[in-house]
Amino acid sequence: MSTKALSASTHWIGGEAVAGTTDLIDVVNPATGEVVSRVPSGTAADVDRAVAAATAAFPGWAATDPAERAAVVGRISEGLRNRLEEIATTITSEMGAPITLSRQGQAGLPIMVAATFAGLAAGFNWTEEIGNSLVVREPIGVVGAITPWNFPLQQIVSKAAPALLAGNTAVLKPSEIAPLTAGILAEVAAEAGLPAGVFNVVHGTGPVVGEAIAAHPGVDMVSFTGSTRAGRRVSAVAAETVKRVALELGGKSANVILDDADLAQAVQHGVAFAFSNGGQVCGGWPRMLVPASLHDEIVELAVAAAAEYTVGDPADEATRLGPMASEAQRRRVDGYIRRGVADGATLAFGGPGKPDGFHEGAYVRPTIFTHVAPDAVIAQEEIFGPVLTIIPYVDDDQAVEIANSTMYGLTGAVFGSEDRALSIARRLRTGQVDVNGGQWNPLAPFGGYKQSGNGREFGRYGIEEFLETKSIQR
């Protein structure tokens, strides 16, 4: 793990490390309970300083040629690549992601995303002629970014790369649970030639620093990723200054397995997307919708697949499931597992309590419930842990009805014959649907319907999120 002062004990404001108050927040390794670092507990005054730095830097950065802005973002990607192992081990220590996942996803994905955005600048339509009008796409201004702990660096880069490419400056509040890679990114960005004040980091809690960013009159836009409850609060606070708010919130996505699907493929993918990152993925698939006639066969396949998910020390290369990101999250997930048992769902795998041999650390048992009612609490509320609910349906219409029955609409999946699966995918009220394990595309938009949010990330859609539109008549 990095022990540099930047990532351990400072904000980053105006291009330099800035000490906070004497109040510090412990960063805890959830596998051991050990305090691995501390970050300052920021204040509204720290946010004021960061916004002032971002405001001062905005005119120069906005006037920089997009090609040069893209070159800086590209160098940031390379700088992150050069520190991949440091990033991976840092994330494993601060939030418990297994080291193999940390290398491939937690560290590897933001490197790819930043490079992808850098490559889009040349072909992006920054201006457009419509009749006698010149339509110009311009940066919004100062962007406040508030990011979660489950994919700490990836969620930051998904906002910072397009926002900076579009010519904005930024003030970031990373999660206080997993804040350390924000410091690494700030250091890499400075080395890449990003001017001082363009990217600023203020550590702290949501109720203090997050609310100060959302309410600040000098912040022109807030981009938030986190829970739906917290997203509602950000929207309410930001409404006072009528700033733009982009929200990427929770999910309770459904994996619909049709009766003509390749069951082995569908279940293998389904369990993987339910348990990946310990189930702490807003776009995961915690609900598996299955034909009633195939329920028992699919349960048998799912239990066999779940048995392959080795729980263990996240620093061990063989571990597939580490701890939850915090003890609070462990208690939350375990509470939902106990609720499922109490409400009468059939426990097919796992269950409440810690796995055998894990007396220390924020570990839970990977769990599968079957014969789950569509309106059960564990089928409706976001658990954010390795808990899969298997729900039977009688026909395609009921499958669609159940899939659409939650307040969320972030992602989903359908497995079956191609035309039929595509037809079902079109009927799902969700922002992204994978058909038969379709590969993730960093150029395609990602974002939710309903209470899963209102923004879009990735590709040109991610750049457009951070631009104003001006028309000039001639």
- Enumerate long-range contacts of 23-28, CB under 8 Å, 24 or more apart: 25/176, 25/179, 25/203, 25/204, 25/205, 27/94, 27/176, 27/177, 27/178, 27/179, 27/180, 28/94, 28/326, 28/327
The answer to whether residues 309 and 278 touch, using CB atoms and an 8 Å cutoff, is no
Phi, psi of 38 (to 5 degrees): -140, 145
The answer to whether residues 399 and 424 touch, using CB atoms and an 8 Å cutoff, is yes
DSSP 225: E
Catalytic residue among 248, 382, 457, 465: 248
131 dihedral zone (left: phi>0; alpha: psi -120 to 50; beta)? left
Tokens of 465: 């999120």
3-state helix, strand, coil in the chain (%, to 5): 45, 20, 35
Phi, psi of 369 (to 5 degrees): -105, 145
Q: How many CB atoms lie within 10 A of CB 375?
A: 10
Phi, psi of 394 (to 5 degrees): -100, -30
Active site residue 381: no
The answer to whether residues 234 and 210 touch, using CB atoms and an 8 Å cutoff, is yes
H helix count then E strand count, the chain: 17, 19
For residue 307, the Cα-to-chain-centroid distance in whole angstroms is 26
> Under DSSP, is residue 239 helix (H, G, I), strand (E, B) or coil?
helix
The catalytic residues are 248
